[in-house]
Amino acid sequence: MLLKNKILIIFWSMLAAIALSACMPAMSVRTEFDDSINKYNKFLSSQSFDAAGFFASESIAKEFSARVKAAKNIKVIDRRIVSVGYDEEKGTAQVEVEIDYYSLSSYRMRTLLDIQKWAYVTESGFKHWRLMSLLPEFP
């Protein structure tokens, strides 16, 4: 009887572990997305536009780099994530971020709405969240 109870405990423990591991990929994809948008937006806050380019998709990397050069006189004061639209089935997301900034040439604070489009893509054999939209133009 004691052996039978141990076997049942082991069986149910293994079954629970298998069930939890089946849910892990979906949770880790969302966790990876949350980490990506938070890191990307922290880079924007600290004027690390070059580092933010790490999140850009390979398809927009050159144009993103050009936007980084154009933003060399921009100082970000604050940023706020306003909304997040996440579509797990399509592997896409849209994040709306308000960015308060000023230009070194005018010192007048402005606010823009940056609509970031993200996709869970395979690049270089790995799946990651990549930014599919460019660094905003700071008027």
Average model confidence (pLDDT) across the chain: 87
Instruction: Identify whether 9 is part of a domain.
Output: no
Q: Has this prediction a pTM greater than 0.95?
A: no
Q: What is the CATH number of the domain that holds 123?
A: 3.10.450.100
Instruction: List the one residue out of 37, 35, 25, 24 whose CA is nearest residue 93.
Output: 37
Q: Is residue 32 part of a domain?
A: yes
Q: What is the pLDDT of residues 81-117, one digit of tens each?
A: 999 999 999 999 999 999 999 999 998 999 999 999 9
Q: With respect to residue 48, please indicate whether it lies within any of the assigned structural domains.
A: yes
In a domain, 39, yes or no: yes
Quick check: is 70 in a domain?
yes
DSSP-assigned letters across all residues of 5-59? HHHHHHHHHHHHHHHHHHHHHHHHHHHHHHHHHHHHHHHHHTT-HHHHGGGB-GG
Residues 34-45 have pLDDT tens digits of 999 999 999 999
Q: How many domains does the chain divide into?
A: 1
**Within-domain flag for 127:** yes
Domain extent for 123: 28-131
8 in a domain, yes or no? no
Residue 106 within any structural domain of the chain: yes
Average pLDDT over residues 60-88: 96
**How many C-beta neighbours within 10 Å does residue 39 have?**
14
Residue 78 — left, alpha, or beta (φ > 0 → left; ψ -120 to 50 → alpha)? beta
Long-range contacts for 131-134 (Cβ within 8 Å, ≥24 apart)? 131/40, 131/55, 131/56, 131/57, 131/60, 131/64, 132/57, 132/59, 132/60, 133/60, 134/56, 134/60, 134/63, 134/64, 134/67
Closest CA to 67 of 80, 49, 55: 49
